[in-house]
Structure 1
Amino acid sequence: MTALEAVTTKRRISARDKQVIVAASLGTVFEFYDFFLIGLLASEIAKAFFSGVNPTAGFIFTLLGFAAGFMLRPFGALVFGRLGDLVGRKYTFLITILLMGLSTFIIGLLPAYATIGMGAPILFISMRMLQGLALGGEFGGAMIYVAEHAPMGKRATWTAYVILTAALGFLLAVAVIIPLRLSIGADAFTNWGWRVPFLISIALLGISLWIRLKLDESPEFKRMKTEGKASKAPLAEAFGNWKNVRYIIIGALCILPAQAVIWYTGQFYSLFFLTKVLRIEALTANTMLIVATVLTVPLYVVFGSLSDRIGRKPVYIAGYLAAALLTIPVFQGLTHYGNPALERAQQNHPISISANSNDCSLQFNPLGTSRFTSSCDVVSDSLAKLGLNYSTMRSSDAAIAQVRVGDRVIVGYVGDAPDAAAHKARFDRELMAALTEKLYPLGNAAAADINAPVIVLLLSLLLTFGAMTFAPTTTSLMEMFPSRIRYTAMSFPYHMSAAWFGGFLPATAFAIVAATGNIYSGLYYPVGIAAACLVLSLIFARETYKVDLSQA
């Protein structure tokens, strides 16, 4: 390390530096505030915009609307990344935050399905796509802007302050939703109250624009412009040079997919698991996740700083290893400490389906148009809707599917038979009786059974995996590319991974659970990606923490 580098590494953050970090971070708060609004308000959004279809299809539509915002992010990265490399970091993320903020605000104003029919879901998904387009340029621009202000040896530490605002976005979302829901009541919140969190986002937009307008361009971009080294064709340089393309592929397919799914598993899928599978009351589940988030927020800076000292790869690979080994045991622990009655019932009286192999279908029906009427399909659908763990034993001689709850056997029925309604009523009655006899909890988890301190500890462990991987991976990606194309080349692989791996986590995990009947099987997706990225990163990723950004 040179004498100059040693000095800049030890330099304290000045008031101007803090302004740079805060201004860049507000866009990330916006990004994840919106992300969690869509997830936390999925039921209300489904009722507002997809009420013309059945509830299951409406919920899946909502998940796909959530994913639609992610699908456009790689394209936004190309559009705004190119603009950022041509005209500057500051002006580009001014445009992106304005587009993102207005789209979020407009969602709160959209008419419902009952008012304009199919126009409602079309407008909703259109706004989600605009958000995705804007976000494709927002996060990369904020990261690069801060990193190009940071002294060598402090880049991941500084960018970690941008990243930790992702957790603050979650806290802001629940801080708005929970008090509002409690104050106006469930019915009013479902009818109109869910719109308020979207509408008040206009205030955050105004503050963000006011602060960002006072900023200067990054010193690295100004240096390039002064020396005449700025790119005239960022897309051509980024994708027309094999060295750059190779790093884009490594980032998008070897490093970042695991970071995306690990973070979303801890911060989003865990909440789904607590409320929908373990049936922990929503306010209790949110409160525990809020506490865990607050406890782990400082870890983004801790692990960012650690990667500045020992390197990016050791830190994020350790995070991948921990996530691959511990994610499923942690979720099993959530069951043990969150709903022990459910765990005991599953262990003492396991549920199984005996059915003809030809009768069992993959019941993932995103368009809500398919009908599943075989006896295997109708009984597995009933169990899945109850959030119960079950296995399927398939044989060729089973004419009608049977459900076994411990030693109790309930005969299924064919969904399109002339007397299907009567058989359904009989099946539901016998199934509820068997579940009650075998002590399966059918309502919310008993408050006395919930060990909140241990659940907070387990949630903190999940969130720690995300903190270990987020700053080191994204900072390393940025350090792979020269300044002249950094915005374009960094943003595209980041958002491609966030979109195609992180964005589809809810729908993919839901499909896996529905197909297998195992409440933990949806976790095979993030665990498998973490394990794969661990191996691929060891083979293909290079260490970047000592790179000089002006020479990269």
Structure 2
Amino acid sequence: MTISLANDGAAVRKQGMTREERKVILASSFGALMEWYDFYIYAALAVYFGALFFPPGNETTAFLASLATFGAGFLVRPVGALLFGRLGDKIGRKHTFLVTILLMGIATVGVGLLPTYGQIGITATILLVVLRLLQGLALGGEVGGAVTYVAEHSPVEKRGLYTSSLQTTATLGLLSSLLVVYLLKTLLTEAQFREWGWRLPFLVSFLMLVVSVYIRGKLHESPIFARMKAGNATSKSPILDSFTNWANLKYVLLLFVVASGLGAIFGTGHFYTMFFVNKTLHVPLELVHLLIGIALVIATPCYLFFGWLSDRIGRKHIMMAACLLAALTTQPIFRALTHYANPALEQFQQRNTVQLRAGDCHFRLFAEPVSACDKVKGYLTDLGVGYEFTQIDAGAQPALRIGGTTLQGFDKAAIKQALVAAGWTEHADPAAINRPMLFLMLLIPILLLAMVYGPLAAFMVELFPARIRYTSLSLPFHLGAGWVGGMLSFVVTAMNVSSGNVYFGLWYPVSIAAIAFVVGMVFVPETRGRNLDT
């Protein structure tokens, strides 16, 4: 074995991966994969959960509610980051993320056993939200623990490569969830899947939980934490030391901005594209899952490539390039999705102006829409139809103009009939779908995610001192990536409903990615090669 010195004096080991390093990466990655699978399986089934767990009345409202509940799991992640980050910095990395995987597994199995709204009413909605919050709490502690644990076992010159193996688990978790749903929908009838088949993906995670706990139970504590504990150098108050000291807080704020850029790319590429192509463009969900699944397979090695590349040229510029590309390409990509997935809808949008004049319009999330205006707005959005809205006197019946037809009030059948007469189609024509180009448009955002996410783990760990590392990186990561990425589909859809433009909400992730690029280029330091013991 040959030893040389890095620029900061840290030892650089010139040899292949040791047996212990392989065990650390395998155990951490498998556990993280299981947790991401548990978290994503809800996203894969979100289109069903609106009808299963929320009050009936309006499909768009129920779908938005299911997206908000999915996002709620992300919203609670910062709480998990503080709770488990503090424990990880005080009692150790290993034991903390063993607890997180148990909590995640129990919550996921609970969703699979949960009665529906039709069986127990609003109690089902409340229990689903509680279980989603527990999942988010667990994931809030998992990510920081896993990246810290692996990085503190990694040689300095391969830290980006080794930690990027963890980043692949987010993609593999989503891929696994899509694959399980796809196989079940192939084997079961639609009625069987809606009645009981949707439960099986959640129940499968019990087996994964058993394996993950067994493997993680055999790991040793991080050597860096073990040295700190032996020298009585651990932090007595990780939260105060992380967030009340400006020297550390400034890096917390910068990581939040970078993580927000990641969240914008992550939420767009992994989730909203799937919802948009299925719900707005009316492409069959099975085809959407298949194309995204193939894209995820292709993109998975790219996480490792960009992690490896960051070990050679640095982390910062790779991540910032991804944010810039996302800001520039998101709007064109989604318009291209419409062009290649449902050209008839694109032609309808170009030839027709749908105009809605109404009063008494209110955006209602968890309640059934009351006014005729609310119902018209929700129904048009659910059909993928953009519209121009004009507010008129309260109490006036909505007037909806489609082509040469004007409709008063809310009448589903009449609205659909007028849309069809104007050239709108209820389903994307399978013969008209350009599958290669549709696949390419789905692949690009996922590749941009690999570009920013691959180097991110090493970057986060290198930003902070060992004694408060787990806490310091966990909170800003989950505030940025979790809140921005997790709620992105909900925010974008809500903006679309409010504006009447199916592309308007995309300015939300575009703006965030652009801000992350500017702030990152000006203020974010390069961290490659930093000594993790300090």
Quote the Cα distance in structure 2 between the aligned partners of 1:65 and 1:216.
Answer: 36
CA distance in 2: counterparts of 1:395 and 1:209, whole angstroms: 60
Q: Which residue of 1 aligns with 2:419?
A: 435
For residues 189 and 481 of structure 1, the distance between their equivalents in structure 2, rounded to whole angstroms, comes to: 47
In structure 1, the residue matched to 2:170 is 166
Percentage of pairs with the same residue? 40
**Matches of 1:111 and 1:212, distance apart in 2:** 32
Q: Cα distance, 1:400 vs. partner?
A: 6.1
The answer as to 2:4 corresponding to 1:3 is yes
The AA in structure 1 aligned to 2:364 is: N
What's the counterpart of residue 322 of structure 1?
Answer: 325
**Distance in 1 between the 2:438 and 2:107 partners?**
36
Amino acid at match of 1:373: A
Q: 1:350 touches 1:390 (CA, 8 Å); kept in 2?
A: no
1:368 maps to 367
Give me the whole-angstrom Cα distance separating, in 2, the residues matched to 1:34 and 1:340.
35
Matched letter for residue 514 of structure 1: V
Correspondence for 2:240: 236
Q: What's 1:421 paired with? A: none
Q: CA separation in 2, counterparts of 1:350 and 1:54?
A: 25
Q: Which residues of 2 match residues 4-403 of structure 1 at below 5 A?
A: 4-5=5-6, 8=12, 10-51=14-55, 55-252=59-256, 254-347=257-350, 349-353=351-355, 355=357, 359=359, 361=361, 363-368=362-367, 371-374=370-373, 377-392=374-389, 401-403=398-400
2: CA distance, partners of 1:86 / 1:310: 34
How far residue 433 of structure 1 moved from its aligned partner, in angstroms, is: 4.0
Indicate which of 408, 427, 438 corresponds to 1:412. Answer: 408
| Superposition map of 1:450-469 within 5 A | 450-469=433-452
Conserved? CA contact 2:344–2:424, under 8 Å:
yes
Which digits, 9 at most, give the CA deviation of each residue in 1:371-421, with x for residues without a partner?
2235xx554344223211223356899976544444x131333x6xxxxxx
Displacement of 1:463: 0.5
**1:161 and 1:232, CA in 2 relative to 1: closer, same or farther beyond 3 A?**
same
Amino acid at match of 1:353: Q
SS in 2 for 1:355: strand
Q: What CA distance in whole angstroms lies between the structure 1 residues aligned with 2:113 and 2:160?
A: 39
Give 1:157 shift: 1.1
Distance apart, 1:300 and its partner CA: 0.7
Question: For residue 470 of structure 1, what is the aligned residue in structure 2?
Answer: 453
SS at match of 1:387: coil
Contact 1:54 1:368 in 2 (8 A): no
**C-alpha distance in 2, partners of 1:58/1:279?**
17
2: CA distance between counterparts of 1:496 and 1:378?
Answer: 34
- TM-score after normalising by structure 2: 0.93
Is the 1:109–1:195 Cα contact (8 Å) retained in structure 2?
A: yes
Instruction: Specify the code of the residue in structure 2 equivalent to 1:207.
Output: V
**1:458-508 deviation digits (Å, cap 9, x = unpaired):** 211111111111132343222111001101111111111133211111210
Extract unaligned runs of 5+ from structure 1. 416-423
> 1:439 is paired with a residue of what secondary structure?
coil
Instruction: Give the 3-state SS of the residue equivalent to 1:145 in structure 2.
Output: helix
What's the CA shift for 1:432? 3.5
Which stretch of the first structure deviates more once superposed, 318-327 or 182-191? Answer: 182-191
Distance 1:371 1:478, change over 3 A: same
When the two chains are superposed, the root-mean-square deviation of aligned CA atoms in Å is: 2.3
SS in 2 for 1:200: helix
8 Å contact kept, 1:300–1:467 = yes
Question: Residues 526 and 379 of structure 1: is their aligned pair in 2 closer, same or farther, counting only changes over 3 Å?
Answer: same
Say which is worse superposed, 61-70 or 147-156, in terms of deviation.
Answer: 61-70
Name the CA distance, whole Å, in 2 between partners of 1:302 and 1:360. 54
In 1: Cα distance, 2:182 partner to 2:141 partner: 31
TM-aligned CA distance change 1:21 to 1:372, over 3 Å? same
Determine if contact 2:372/2:397 at 8 Å carries over to the other structure. no
Q: In 2 relative to 1, CA 488–273 (structure 1 residues): closer, same or farther, beyond 3 Å?
A: same
State whether residues 274 and 280 of structure 1, in contact with CA within 8 Å, keep that contact through their aligned partners in structure 2. yes
Distance 2:405 2:461 in 1: 59
- Contact 2:69–2:129, Cα closer than 8 Å, also in 1: yes
Aligned partner letter, 2:355: I
SS of 1:3 mapped into structure 2: strand
Higher alpha-carbon deviation: 179-188 or 507-516: 179-188
In structure 2, the partner of 1:420 is: none
Q: Which moved more, 1:313-322 or 1:235-244?
A: 235-244
CA deviations on 1:149-186 (whole Å, 9 max, x unpaired) are: 11112212111110111111011111211111221211
SS of the aligned residue for 2:234 comes to coil
Cα deviation per residue 1:176-198 (whole Å; 9 max; x = unaligned)? 11111221211111111111111
CA distance in 2, matches of 1:360, 1:311: 55
CA offset at residue 445 of structure 1?
1.0
2:479 maps to 496
Please tell me whether the aligned partners of residues 354 and 398 of structure 1 are also in contact (alpha carbons under 8 angstroms): no
Q: Deviations over 1:19-70 (max 9, x none)?
A: 2111111232123212321112123333332256654443333222212211
2: CA distance, partners of 1:205 / 1:354: 51
Q: CA deviation at 1:301?
A: 1.0
Corresponding position of 1:419: none
Alpha carbons of 1:24 and 1:107: their partners in 2 closer, same or farther (altered >3 Å)?
A: same
Letter in 2 for 1:132: G
Could you list the per-position Cα deviations for residues 244-292 of structure 1 after superposition, in whole angstroms to 9, with x for gaps in the alignment? 122112211x211010120121111111011011111111111111111
Distance in 2 of aligned mates of 1:257 and 1:300: 19
Q: TM-score, normalised by structure 1?
A: 0.91
What does residue 418 of structure 1 align with? none
Structure 2 CA distance, aligned partners of 1:258 and 1:397?
41
Relative to structure 1, the CA distance from residue 435 to residue 9 in structure 2 (aligned partners, 3 Å threshold; closer, same or farther) is farther
- Report the CA distance shift for 1:222/1:354 in structure 2 as closer, same or farther (over 3 A): closer
Structure 1: distance between partners of 2:334 and 2:44: 20
53 and 85 in structure 1: CA distance in 2 versus 1, 3 angstrom threshold = farther
1:140 Cα deviation (Å)?
A: 0.7
Kindly provide the amino acid, as one letter, of the partner of residue 435 in structure 1.
L
Q: 1:370, CA displacement in angstroms? A: 5.3
Structure 2 residue runs without a partner (length 5+): none
- The answer for the alignment partner of 1:538 in structure 2 is 521
